Amino acid sequence: MKSWIRLALVLSLSVAGTVIASAYPAPPLHQPTPAQAADDNMTPYRKLAADTLTAFKAHDLATARKKAKELETAWDKNEKALQKKSPDVWNQIDKAMDDFIKPLAGKAPDAAAVQTTYDAFIAKLQLAVKGS
């Protein structure tokens, strides 16, 4: 009789543990966002844009402007092949970058506008990722 009670107790605890565990959703697998994507040909621009945004959010407008200039210079210097191969993609990215950089030149850039244009720029960079 005691062995039946023990067996019933073990089974009920096992079932209860399974039910409790299934009540909590499994943590999602880590999927990188565009800003965290694996290294690709657009990583340098993503990093410079992220550095720019970080400086802006830290209220370091001088560094944000410096990083924005570095971003623009790097893009114009290093993506001439993309400009020839895919002028439409290059223009979309270039415009999105200009839209991101432009508010930083003002006296008091709007944080929401800077974030929105940053997000749009990061999304546009994905158009030029080799292999996608």
Determine contact, residues 59/83, Cβ cutoff 8 Å: no
Reported as a single tens digit per residue, the pLDDT across 15-26 is 555 555 555 555
Domain ranges of the chain: 34-128
Rg from Cα positions in the chain: 25
103-112: b (≥16 Cβ within 10 Å) or e: bbeeeebeee
* Whether this model's pTM surpasses 0.75: no
Separation CA 50–CA 64 (nearest Å) = 10
The mean pLDDT value for 24-41 works out to 52
C-beta neighbour count of 6 within 10 angstroms: 10
Reported as a single tens digit per residue, the pLDDT across 43-79 is 999 999 999 999 999 999 999 999 999 999 999 999 8
Separation CA 67–CA 46 (nearest Å) = 12
